[in-house]
C-alpha cells in the first residue's frame, strides 16, 4: 500500500452500506472516510484531499442532491468525481435535470467488480 493512499468519501445514512463499501474499497488499498450525510461529507472534504465521493441520495440533514450541488458549484471541489449509489431507478432519473449531475451511477445492491470498475474509471480521470 502506498504512503499516500487515495482517499474516497462514502456518504450514506445506512451504516451497513458504509461498512460494506469500506470493506470493499479499503481492501483494494483506498483510504475510506465515512459520512452519514452530506453535511458530514463536506466537513471531511474541507480537511482532506479527497479523490472521489460515493454518495446515496436519500439522507437526513443534507441529502445527496444538495451535496452534489455544493461540490460541483464550488471551484475547489468541482473536479471531484461523484459516484451515485442508488437503490431506485427514479433517483437516477431525477438527477438528469441537475445542472451538474453525478459522474456515474451504481445500483444498490452493488456487485464488487462493478464498484471497483467504476471507481477506477472515475479516478483515472483525476489521479
Identify the CATH number of the domain in which residue 110 sits: 3.40.50.2300
Using 50, 70 and 90 to split pLDDT, how confident is the model at 1?
very low
CA distance between the termini of the chain = 16
**Residue 92 pLDDT exceeds 90:** no
Using 50, 70 and 90 to split pLDDT, how confident is the model at 101?
confident
Higher pLDDT, residue 50 or 110: 50
Domain of 64, in residue numbers? 7-124
Do the domain assignments include residue 28? yes
Do the domain assignments include residue 96? yes
Do the domain assignments include residue 1? no
Q: What is the count of structural domains for the chain? A: 1
Average predicted confidence (pLDDT) for the chain: 89
**pLDDT, average across residues 65-81:** 94
According to DSSP, residue 97 is labeled T
Give the whole-angstrom CA distance, residue 53 versus residue 9.
5
Which of 42, 34, 43 is closest to 13 using CA atoms? 34
**Residue 48 pLDDT exceeds 70:** yes
What's the predicted TM-score (pTM) here? 0.91
Which of 55, 108, 60, 112 is closest to 84 using CA atoms? 55
Do the domain assignments include residue 78? yes
Do the domain assignments include residue 2? no
Using 50, 70 and 90 to split pLDDT, how confident is the model at 84?
very high
Query: Taking a C-beta distance cutoff of 8 angstroms, is the pair 46, 33 a contact?
Result: no
pLDDT at position 125, please?
83
Query: Taking a C-beta distance cutoff of 8 angstroms, is the pair 8, 52 a contact?
Result: yes
E runs forming strands in the chain: 7-11, 31-35, 52-55, 82-86, 104-107
Amino acid at each position: 500500500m502506498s504512503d499516500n493512499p487515495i482517499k474516497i468519501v462514502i456518504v450514506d445514512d445506512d451504516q451497513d452500506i458504509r461498512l460494506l463499501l469500506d470493506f470493499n474499497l479499503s481492501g483494494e488499498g483506498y483510504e475510506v472516510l465515512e459520512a452519514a450525510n452530506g453535511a458530514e461529507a463536506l466537513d471531511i472534504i474541507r480537511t482532506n484531499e479527497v479523490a472521489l465521493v460515493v454518495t446515496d441520495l436519500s439522507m437526513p440533514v443534507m441529502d445527496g442532491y444538495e451535496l452534489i450541488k455544493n461540490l460541483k458549484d464550488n471551484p475547489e471541489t468541482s473536479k471531484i468525481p461523484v459516484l451515485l449509489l442508488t437503490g431506485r431507478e427514479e433517483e437516477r432519473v431525477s438527477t438528469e435535470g441537475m445542472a451538474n449531475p453525478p459522474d456515474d451511477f451504481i445500483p444498490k445492491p452493488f456487485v464488487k467488480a462493478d464498484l471497483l470498475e467504476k471507481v477506477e474509471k472515475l479516478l483515472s480521470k483525476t489521479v
